[in-house]
Amino acid sequence: MDTLPMPLDALGAAHGGLDDFRVGTKREIALILKQLADGSVRLNLNASNGAVLGATVWAVDTERGSLGLAIDAHDPATNGLIECQEAVVVGYIDNVKLQFDIDNLVLVRGLNSCVLNCSLPDELFRFQRRNAFRVRPLLRSAPVARLRHSAIADMPLALRVLDLSIGGCALFLPDDMPSMEPGSTLNRVQIDLDADTRLHVNLRLQHVTSLNADSCGVRLGCEFVAADAGTLRTLQRFIDQTQKRSKLLTI
C-alpha cells in the first residue's frame, strides 16, 4: 500500500480543490480516529526531515483536544520526528487511505510503553479506494515506461505499464532482466501513456511481487515522487478516459 503522504497542493489543483476528500467535522474526525484505535491500525508518521515512524492510536481525548500515539521510543526515527515537532500521518481503514497532520508533539515515556501526545487534527483527508483510482490500460494503448535500471545506470529499460493510479504505477520486469530492490529511486522516468500523452516523473520502488508462473516476470509497485500539478492533471484525465472506455467495452 501507498504509505507516503498524498501531495495535497498538487492533488487539489488537479481536482479543483480538496473538498471531495476532506473530513472537516470534529465528530467525524473523532469517530475515524477511534476506528483506528479499536482496530490497532498501523500508521506511518512522516516528518519533513525524512524520518518515518510507525505508530498506533492509543487514546483519543476529544474534551482536551489531544491524541495519543503508541510508538517504539527505541526506533532511531523517534528523535528526528520530535525535532520536527510535526508530521503527516498516513494509514488505511478497509483500503481507504487516511491522512492528517499532527503537531505540538510531546514524548511521554512509561514503564512498559511510550506515547507521543499531540493535538487532535483540525481536518482529515480520506481518499477513495485505490481500486477506484487504479486502472489497467487498454491493450491497444500499451503504455511503456522508459528508465534506467536502479542498480545499473547504463542499462536502459522499456517496461510495460501494468496499471496506473493517481499515486503510482505498476511495471512489468521480465525474468531475464536484473532484479531491483524495494526502496530504490528511479529518476527521470518517461511514461508514454499513448501516442499523444507523455509523463516525466520520478518513482520510488515500494515492492516487488511475483506474478503467476506463466508470466515470466515480476510486478514492480512504484509510487510517484513529488509529481507536479500538471502531471497529476494529465494522469487523472488518462485514468478517467480509460475508465470510460472500459465501461463502454462491457456494455
Over residues 137-192, the pLDDT tens digits come to 655 567 899 999 988 888 999 998 888 877 788 889 998 888 888 888 899 999 98
Asked if residue 239 has pLDDT above 90, the reply is no
Does domain 132-250 bear CATH number 3.40.1190.20?
A: no
pLDDT bucket at 130, cuts 50 / 70 / 90: very low
Q: What pLDDT does 198 receive? A: 87
Asked if residue 213 has pLDDT above 70, the reply is no
pLDDT tens figures, 90-124: 998 866 789 999 998 998 887 667 899 999 999 99
pTM score, whole prediction: 0.54
Q: What pLDDT does 131 receive? A: 42
DSSP line for the chain: ---SPP-HHHHHHHHTSSTTTEE--HHHHHHHHHHHHHTT--EEEE-TTS-EEEEEEEEEETTTTEEEEEE-TTSTHHHHHHHHTEEEEEEEETTEEEEEEEES-EEEE-SS-EEEEEEPPS-EEEEPPHHHH-BPPPTTT--EEEEE-SS-TT-EEEEEEEEE-SSEEEEEEETTSPP--TT-EEEEEEEEEETTEEEEEEEEEEEEEE--TTS-EEEEEEEESS--HHHHHHHHHHHHHHHHHHHHHH-
Q: Residue 241: exposed, middle, or buried by beta-carbon count in 10 A (0-12, 13-18, 19+)?
A: middle
Work out the widest C-alpha separation in the chain, in whole angstroms.
62
Give the residue range(s) of CATH 2.40.10.220 domains in the chain: 132-250
Q: What pLDDT does 157 receive? A: 92
Give the residue range(s) of CATH 2.30.110.10 domains in the chain: 8-128
Asked if residue 12 has pLDDT above 80, the reply is no
Residue pair 113/70 in contact (Cβ under 8 Å)? The answer is yes
pLDDT bucket at 56, cuts 50 / 70 / 90: very high
Mean pLDDT: which of 171-175, 210-214, 234-238, 242-246 is highest? 171-175
Q: What pLDDT does 134 receive? A: 56
CATH code for residues 8-128: 2.30.110.10
The average confidence (pLDDT) of the chain is 83
Q: What pLDDT does 248 receive? A: 56
